[in-house]
Amino acid sequence: MADLEAFFHEDSFPETCTESENKAKEFVKYHEDTGIPVALVTSGGTKVPLEGNTVRYIDNFSIGTRGAVSAEFFLQHGYAVIFLYRCRSLEPFTRHLQNLHLLDILEVNSNEHDRNSSVVVKSDYCPQVLNVLKTYQDVKKKRQLLMLEFNTLGEYLYLLKACSIALSPLGNRALLYLAAAVSDFYIPKDKMPEHKIQSSDGPLQLSLEVVPKMLTPLVMEWVPNAFVISFKLETDPSLLISKSKQALDRYHHQVVIGNLLDTRKREVVSVTKDQENWIRLTDKELSLGVEIESKIVSEIVQKHRTFCSHD
Ligand code: 9Z3
């Protein structure tokens, strides 16, 4: 735990982080009264800077599909959602319009005598846009969704801690669904060059340190009564179950969702202290565009209900 505190001290955080922290507190305060469960969904990859004035950084493959899709399903199940995501990764709702170019779907409504032109969506695109817009506006009206952005690993850890602590007054009504792809390695501030690394200095050798494990303080201190789901990503199938069980034994949280890089969109394994349950999409479901997150979230919601009823 001391490691993680040192990490927070050595990093300096932009003002947006404190603004986001305040928004999270307000959001939770509001939902203390509505009585609905609140899910923190993390999504996308963390960026690890190589230079103080960052030109280069290490990133990972995640584009945030798991998080963005899951957030929509939690909303459908009546949860309020804090969506903590890597900026410019996939977002709930707008992801459905990702294939559209904004300026190509709009047209100007004007006539010669009318000085007040307006902009409207071209009729071909109306059904698609309307569908998403209606659901989004409904969610906004109920203040069900708060979107908070992070960029670097440091910002992610800062906001994860801030949101977890903000959620703690909700007790077991809080659910944490940690789908972000978090870097395991980073360069501490004091070992990082201030300025751009020069190629004229020859080949580059990097020495990275292991990122302190945040699940220990999260489960023990920050939000001790919440229902916590972490994700385990592997590429070697023979390690998936053992690594998922190891995470559960180490951190004593409720569920690990194990997934393999290549097959993550059609199968995952849900591991709890007394069960391993594969969640899969059939070929038919895949061809119909069913998203595996619908099944993952249904199972998690069920488990969360049971968890709350036992407390
Ligand atoms: C996951 O395993 C997610 O399911 C994916 C989703 C990142 C694979 P996409 O964004 O991918 O839909 O493209 N997330 C967690 C990965 C992770 O960093 N886990 C850490 C670990 O395995 C601990 S929480 O040690």
Q: Which atom of ligand 1 is nearest to the CA of 60?
A: 7
**Token pair belonging to 154:** 């440091």
Rounded distance from Cα 269 to ligand 1 centre (Å): 13
**Backbone torsions φ then ψ of 133, nearest 5 degrees:** -60, -40
Q: What's this model's pTM, rounded to 2 decimal places?
A: 0.96
Percent of the residues in the chain that have a pLDDT greater than 90, as a whole number: 91
Exposure b/e, 242-277, CB count within 10 A at least 16 = b: ebbbebbeebebbbbbbbbeeebebebbbbbeeeee
Locus of tokens 């982080």: 17
State residue 13's pLDDT score. Answer: 83
Residue 105 pLDDT > 90, yes or no? yes
Task: Indicate if the pLDDT at residue 9 is higher than 90.
Answer: no
Domains contained in the chain, CATH given: 2-93+127-229 (3.40.50.10300)
User: Cα 11–15–18 angle (5° rounding)?
Assistant: 90
Which residue puts its alpha carbon closest to atom 19 of ligand 1? 232
Number of H helices, E strands in the chain: 10, 14
Ligand 1 atom closest to residue 234's alpha carbon, by position in its atom list: 22
Which residue spans within 124-182 are E strands per DSSP?
Answer: 145-150, 174-178
Q: Is the model's pLDDT at 110 over the cut of 60?
A: yes
Q: How far is the CA of 147 from the centre of ligand 1 (A)?
A: 19
- Amino acid identity at 47: K
pLDDT at 112 (0 to 100): 67
- Closest ligand 1 atom, residue 179 Cα: 14
For residue range 134-150, what is the model confidence (pLDDT) as tens digits? Answer: 999 999 999 999 999 99
Burial 143-152 (b: 16+ CB within 10 A, else e): ebbbebbbbb
Report the chain's mean pLDDT, rounded to a whole number: 95
Contacts of residue 255, Cβ cutoff 8 Å, sequence gap at least 6: 227, 228, 229, 230, 248, 270, 271, 272, 300, 303
48 alpha carbon – ligand 1 mean position (Å): 16
Q: Is the pLDDT of residue 99 over 90?
A: yes
Rounded to an integer, the average pLDDT of 183-205 is 95
- pLDDT, tens only, 53-90: 999 999 999 999 999 999 999 999 999 999 999 999 99
Q: How high is the pLDDT of residue 111? A: 72
Across residues 121-145, what is the average pLDDT? 97
Q: How far is the CA of 180 from the centre of ligand 1 (A)?
A: 5
| pLDDT, tens digit, 9 for 90 and up, residues 238-296 | 999 999 999 999 999 999 999 999 999 999 999 999 999 999 999 999 999 999 999 99
pLDDT tens across 24-33, in order?
999 999 999 9
Q: What is the pLDDT of residue 12?
A: 76
pLDDT, residue 116, reads: 77
**What residues does ligand 1 touch, defined as CB less than 6 Å away?**
62-66, 178-179, 181-182, 230-233, 259, 264
pLDDT at 2: 57
pLDDT tens for residues 202-228?
A: 999 999 999 999 999 999 999 999 999
Residue 289, sorted as left (phi over 0), alpha (psi -120 to 50) or beta, turns out to be: left
